[in-house]
Structure 1
Amino acid sequence: MKDIDDANVVHCETATRVLLPKVKDHHLLRAGDLLFRSRGRSNGAAQVTEGIGIAVLSAPMLLIRPHSVVPDYLCWFINAPATQAQLGAHSEGTSVRMISAEALKALEVPVPAADVQQRVVQIAALAEQEQSLTAQIATRRYQLNTRILMKFAQEAAR
């Protein structure tokens, strides 16, 4: 769980390495698999990308292996605020929030045609990029205003 950041990106370079005697192929992570954080403050999904190498999932993570749905789309859907709220309504626990595998399995996912799923993913990525750029613009505008006001204050004090 510590190897997935707040943006739901898997960081394999920081993962704990262990030597396992024999691991069955169906336990190995594959590109396109989704890793769901079932416990903690954030219950998002992260997608496994190419080049992960030999890796297995540790508890309390849940493995979602998409079938007949584009993995990027399913990841977007699970991480969407409305879906997160729906999952949150089924959370258990008082001190540590937990989403059960049953609650995740009960989630109804609308599955449009694959090309529509791809378009949704592309538009969602563009919207996320817009949010990031807007935040950068706001930060730079604040910095510029602060510099201008500082210069004005210093000149007025002379």
Structure 2
Amino acid sequence: MQLKHLANISAGHPFRGKIPESPGSGIVAVQMKDASSLGGVAWADCIETEPTGRRDDCLQVGDILVAARGSRNYAVLIDDSLTVTGKQAIAAPQFFIVRTTALQLLPEYLYWFLNQPPSQRYFDLNAEGTLTKAIKRNALEEIPIAVPDLARQQAIIGLANTLQQELRLIEQLRRNGEQMLAAIANELAAELLTAPTPAIQTIKNTPSKE
């Protein structure tokens, strides 16, 4: 089925130019730098702002943000962590907001499906532009979505969540390893500053006797 038959699709908040900061407003703006398909939204990095005009486009848990431009049209799920912030949130205009309307489609599954190779190939084929590629709303509306039964969707979600946890663990191990090696390098550099300069022996080349 096409996405437009399964969800409502709208554009992010129509800011013009740079998003203005308004500390204490209680409304944060999710920009592309704040979100990733794997890590979700880094709410602590989102700036507070005071939107003008439309005020009915606040994000809800279960919404999916799809990057409208860039080298990859990734999807980001708005999960329960939004509620924990105690703030309202809006999406920057570089995102489309997808809100499921079909009872037989789980938002978590749709988020997963939009990030998979078949969907990404569709976006690549339908992107417009040369230097900066972009997906138009009608292209997103017409993307085909496979909708298995709810039990299978839940099984896929469980497997995807397990894999994400493993990837996060691997990434944390990589960072820990890099930090450990950096600390060793810093210690060695510090030793160079305090230790006396050792005598360096060199091998001299002498002409051979024939």
Normalized against structure 1, the TM-score is what? 0.75
2:116 paired residue number: 80
8 A Cα contact 2:35 2:42, kept in partner: yes
Using the alignment, how far apart are the partners of 1:35 and 1:56 within structure 2? 10
Instruction: Describe the shift of the 1:6–1:32 C-alpha distance in structure 2 as closer, same or farther (beyond 3 A).
Output: closer
The structure with the greater share of residues assigned to strand is: 2
Q: 1:128 to 1:12 in 2, by over 3 A?
A: closer
Deviates more, 1:108-117 or 1:84-93: 108-117
Q: Residue 29 of structure 1 aligns to which amino acid in structure 2?
A: L
Counterpart in the other structure of 1:4: 35
Q: Map of 1:8-157 to 2, 5 A cutoff? A: 9-20=40-51, 24-25=55-56, 27-50=57-80, 51=83, 53-68=87-102, 69-129=105-165
How many residue pairs get matched? 139
State the one-letter code of the partner of 1:113. D
Paired with 2:130 and 2:123, the residues of 1 have a C-alpha distance of 15
Where does structure 1 lack aligned partners over 5 or more consecutive residues?
Answer: 141-158
Counterpart of 2:45 in structure 1: which amino acid? T
Find the residue that maps to 2:91 and give its secondary structure: coil
How far the C-alpha of 1:131 sits from its partner, in A, is 5.6
Q: Which amino acid aligns with 1:44?
A: Y
Shift of 1:80: 0.5
Q: Looking at secondary structure, tell me which structure has more helix per residue.
A: 1
Pairwise CA distance, 1:128? 4.2
* Distance in 1 between residues matched to 2:59 and 2:72, nearest whole Å: 21
Alignment TM-score, normalising by the size of structure 2: 0.58
Tell me by how many angstroms 1:121 deviates.
1.1
Q: Matches of 1:58 and 1:6 in 2, distance apart?
A: 16
Residue identity opposite 2:125 in structure 1: A
How many Å separate the matches in 2 of 1:63 and 1:72? 14
Identity percentage of aligned residues:
27
Change (3 A) 1:20 1:94: closer
Q: Against the structure 1 CA distance between its residues 18 and 133, is the aligned structure 2 distance closer, same or farther, given a 3 Å change threshold?
A: closer
Contact 2:37 2:76 in 1 (8 A): no
SS at match of 2:158: helix
